[in-house]
Amino acid sequence: MGVLYDYFRAADDAAAVKLMADLDGGPVVTADGRPGVDAIDLKGIDPGVTLGQLVSLARGVAWQAGLVGEQLLCSGDPDGPWLTSLDDATRDTLASITAAQLPELSARWGQTEELAWDGPLPADQMLPVIEAVAALARRARDAGEHLYCWCCL
């Protein structure tokens, strides 16, 4: 079993923490959806490293620790859940990804160590993931909201 990551948008940290309380710790994404919650399930894609690799590619910079600014907002027992906020610079970078960039980003991201355990992924395999996270980031940016990550083992 891997680590679960749900990304969602909320107005502010207080709203994100309240959502966690309302959901009794999560998860945020369910098979039947949650009314009023805009979220995506990105199993195995942690914000700091794996998503950070996408952010570095979109920015045209080398990945480094701390590239994606995260702040722990709440944590459960040793197996989680945890809730972190992502910095608005990350949100804006993801929101700025254009359709023209998608093929190259997918091909390059699929070659990173975090995703290519058994060799490079097919060039288009990460397209739906990039499209989903970029769309979520655009909706958050356009609504003046922020991105959050719920995580649990």
16-45 pLDDT, tens digit each: 999 999 998 888 988 777 778 999 999 889
What does pTM read for this prediction? 0.94
Cα-based angle 38, 138, 27 (whole degrees, multiple of 5)? 25
Please tell me whether residue 61 adopts helix, strand or coil conformation: coil
